[in-house]
Structure 1
Amino acid sequence: MEALVLSCSTGGGHNSAAKAIVQALQERHHKVTFFDPYSLKSTHFANVIGMTYIKFVQHTPDLFGKVYALGDAYSRMQTKIPVPSPVYAVQNKTSKLLENYISEHHFDVIITTHLFCGEILTRLKRKHVTLPPVYFVATDYTCSPFVAEVQADHFVIPAADLEDTFAGYGIPKEKMLPFGIPTLAQFHEDIAPDKAKRAVGLDPKKKYFLISGGSIGVGDIYDTIDHLLTFILSHKEYEILVLVGNNLHLYENLMINYQGVHVLHLIKPTDHVYYYMKASEIFISKPGGLSSTEAAAAAIPYAIITPIPGCEDKNAAYFEQHGMAIWVKDVSQDLLPAIIRLQDPAEKEQMIAADRANIDPDAAGKLVEYIEKKNSDLN
């Protein structure tokens, strides 16, 4: 089977989910082509698209939340008045480039983990370009604005109990596949903490808190570090790891502000996040859909901080309601009590049990198996 997987670099979650699907396809010996459709114009153009979005979220998260709310209202209106969205309208040139590419290559299936790519494919469908079956993979625990505008043959959603949420935006239930958000196999492999620590050069005798602002490095990281340092004063066995993502400004400021703090370790962009999760006692992060799912797949106790308004509020609520995380709504008041709770063996085991009950770590594999069966039925 020949598969085309599309994503965009507006945050790492979409790409990580896409890579998990690529991994599952390749493990079953299928041929896979994976790229950002904006790179068909140029790599520079694709990077500009990604960085423009990232800078917007990094520097003005509250404004992003307001834009999201407007988009959400517009998207709900589309169920009554089918007016194309601005996101759809700007995809014309890229859709022509992708049309030319697809006409020169054979594919049995197209899978995308990003709205922009879904809108590009929708333009092609509306032009009656012949396409193989298209699968859209949602990477948040809600229906994001304009997803319902995407003309996909199937929508992979994070969980069966979200079917009504997606249907409320106009997505037909018969097109939904509640397989979950795809994660790389490494996140659910049984890696011993000592082995994981050694793999990334950590001290096997130490315990670690892992802080993340997602791939774009945002969130209330400074206050989180300060409160954890207070905790460490009486818990010498602990140290702090910070995944700074692609936020070089954050990395430089943390280096300056915490110079000489030997219990704080800053981690630049890495392909070994799963090792850091497996090596850590508690994961503290903003609730990106993908990073939250990875935490659940890795079975690491999870404390949510500072969601970006929009999808991440919904992710936080979903994980809290299902017992898969503690939502720390006020870092100064609630972080340390949450840390103490998550160190309790009974609390930890209860959260891990919730992870196992609600998250399928083999979502990518289930999707590929489904595609294989559908492809076989067509042939």
Structure 2
Amino acid sequence: MGTINILFVSASAGNGHTRAAEALRVHSRHAGVSATHIDILQFVSPLLRMVYTTLYAWLVRRAPAVWRQVYQSTHAADSAGPLHLLRRWAERLNSTRFEREIGRIAPGAIVCTHFLAAELLSQLTARGRLTCPVWVQVTDFDLHRIWVHDHMAGYFVPNDEVAFRLRAHGIAAARIHITGIPIMPAFSGPRERQRCARELGILPFRMTVLLMGAGPGFGTVACIAERLLGAHADLQVIALAGRDEAALAALKQLAARYPGRLSPQPHTDTIERLMASADIVVTKPGGLTTSEALALGLPMIVIAPIPGQEEHNANFLLERGAALKAFDLLTLEYRIGHLLAHPARLAEMRAIAQALGKPAAASEVLATILKQVK
């Protein structure tokens, strides 16, 4: 089993695709499997890389209505129609280095956590230039038509609804595996809240909100933290600034005004320790972040979803009762206050989140692949 070389291909268009692939690579190492993880956007032309990174980021931040239209129109368009034929031709023309890299690695199996890789590898398989099996890992609680391709060995999906949608697109049920979305091994077991909280300089048994982002209608992370701290005297906040030094500086200034109640945090590779210290997470509903929160049984208040995939992620969480949604700062203040006043409701959300979580997703993906390629 250790001689099998599995290649995980992600795309750095957003963090979720990369984190899912990296989670699979780490689990592979623990399973004694040879594994490689590459970012497809490092092996395409600068033009194609710009489309999937800079242009995408600009659209979702500056022109979300345009992005919604792009998302919906590409989903509705005939996959054999001129729009997608032209797109596939342009992607193939700009990705010859990717094909050469696949040949250099010579994997025994490939798992794609982004649709671009799956689409290009489907074309290579159709032309007889790739013979190893290729799987697709869907990384949202949604299925855009662009994820569905011929010649795939199988699909790993987060839930039965996405599986249903795949079957509606003609994918045989036997090739669909409901595993969840792969997350790191650190999310597979309970964490000791007291130790994690004390590391952050907060009280372990005080109601705590983990603030993981901001967005249109909410202002900065510091603005949200200030609003919540001022509105709820019994509340602690852990605020994640990421790699934004200005945001971190603003949070540290705010923490001086609320000693012992605000823990500013820079970018971290141990987000599970922050989650373990919290009762509620306020976050944008990305597929990986929500999967991590569910695995730890952490209720969510979702804010500022990107049109398309994140909106569908939010709907999944809301319909099942693991999350609430806030449309602006005032609504967020109300939602937090409601949960503070109704601990039974928060406990119910926690139980639902725990039931929805799939911390063993990566292990199930690997077990399925190894069973089929051994």
Interval containing the TM-score (normalised by the shorter chain): 0.7 to 0.9
| 1:276 corresponds to | 274
Q: Which amino acid aligns with 2:16?
A: G
- Separation (CA, whole Å) in 1 of partners of 2:269 and 2:85: 35
CA contact (8 A) 1:71 1:146 kept: yes
Worse-superposed segment, 278-287 or 353-362: 353-362
- Separation (CA, whole Å) in 2 of partners of 1:179 and 1:365: 9
**Structure 1, unaligned runs of 5 or more:** none
CA contact (8 A) 2:222 2:251 kept: no
CA contact (8 A) 2:159 2:179 kept: yes
Q: 1:229 aligns with which of 223, 226, 230?
A: 226
1:65 alignment partner, SS class: helix
Q: 1:257 to 1:354 in 2, by over 3 A?
A: closer
2:352 alignment partner, SS class: helix
In the alignment, structure 1 residue 252 sits paired with structure 2 residue 252:
no
- Separation (CA, whole Å) in 2 of partners of 1:353 and 1:72: 34
After TM superposition, the score normalised by the length of structure 2 is: 0.86
- Separation (CA, whole Å) in 2 of partners of 1:364 and 1:271: 18
Instruction: Provide, for residues 306-361 of structure 1, a one-character-per-residue CA deviation record: whole Å limited to 9, x for no partner.
Output: 21111111111111111111122x32443233213434332222222222332321
1:308 alignment partner, SS class: coil
Deviation (angstroms), 1:298 = 1.5
Q: 1:230 to 1:151 in 2, by over 3 A?
A: same
In the alignment, structure 1 residue 192 sits paired with structure 2 residue 192:
yes
| 1:36 corresponds to | 39
Instruction: Provide, for residues 158-202 of structure 1, a one-character-per-residue CA deviation record: whole Å limited to 9, x for no partner.
Output: 112332223334433332111111111212321111222344x43
Instruction: Provide, for residues 256-284 of structure 1, a one-character-per-residue CA deviation record: whole Å limited to 9, x for no partner.
Output: 59944534554333212111111122101
Q: Which amino acid aligns with 2:187?
A: F
Q: 1:171 to 1:333 in 2, by over 3 A?
A: farther
Coordinate RMSD, CA, aligned: 3.0
CA contact (8 A) 1:187 1:274 kept: yes
- Separation (CA, whole Å) in 1 of partners of 2:67 and 2:83: 22
Structural mapping, 1:2-13, within 5 Å: 2-13=5-16
Q: 1:69 aligns with which of 67, 72, 75?
A: 72
**Structure 2, unaligned runs of 5 or more:** none
| 1:353 corresponds to | 351
- Separation (CA, whole Å) in 1 of partners of 2:227 and 2:102: 56
| 2:364 corresponds to | 366
Deviation (angstroms), 1:300 = 1.1
Deviation (angstroms), 1:13 = 0.7
1:140 alignment partner, SS class: coil
2:6 alignment partner, SS class: strand
| 1:336 corresponds to | 333
1:146 alignment partner, SS class: helix
Instruction: Provide, for residues 33-59 of structure 1, a one-character-per-residue CA deviation record: whole Å limited to 9, x for no partner.
Output: 111123236899868853443233233
- Separation (CA, whole Å) in 2 of partners of 1:244 and 1:220: 18
Q: 1:296 to 1:87 in 2, by over 3 A?
A: farther
CA contact (8 A) 2:207 2:278 kept: yes
CA contact (8 A) 2:279 2:298 kept: yes
Q: 1:36 to 1:259 in 2, by over 3 A?
A: same
CA contact (8 A) 2:297 2:352 kept: no
Structural mapping, 1:37-52, within 5 Å: 37-40=40-43, 49-52=52-55
* Pairs aligned (count): 365
Q: 1:265 to 1:61 in 2, by over 3 A?
A: farther
- Separation (CA, whole Å) in 1 of partners of 2:369 and 2:95: 24
- Separation (CA, whole Å) in 1 of partners of 2:129 and 2:53: 27
Worse-superposed segment, 131-140 or 341-350: 341-350
Q: 1:59 aligns with which of 42, 58, 62?
A: 62
Instruction: Provide, for residues 215-244 of structure 1, a one-character-per-residue CA deviation record: whole Å limited to 9, x for no partner.
Output: xx6454428865653443364443333334
| 2:131 corresponds to | 131
Structural mapping, 1:42-191, within 5 Å: 49-74=52-77, 77-78=78-79, 84-93=84-93, 95-149=95-149, 151-191=151-191
Worse-superposed segment, 58-67 or 227-236: 227-236
Q: Which amino acid aligns with 2:19?
A: S
- Separation (CA, whole Å) in 1 of partners of 2:106 and 2:312: 38
Q: Which amino acid aligns with 1:12?
A: N
Q: Which amino acid aligns with 2:230?
A: L
In the alignment, structure 1 residue 203 sits paired with structure 2 residue 211:
no
Q: Which amino acid aligns with 1:58?
A: R
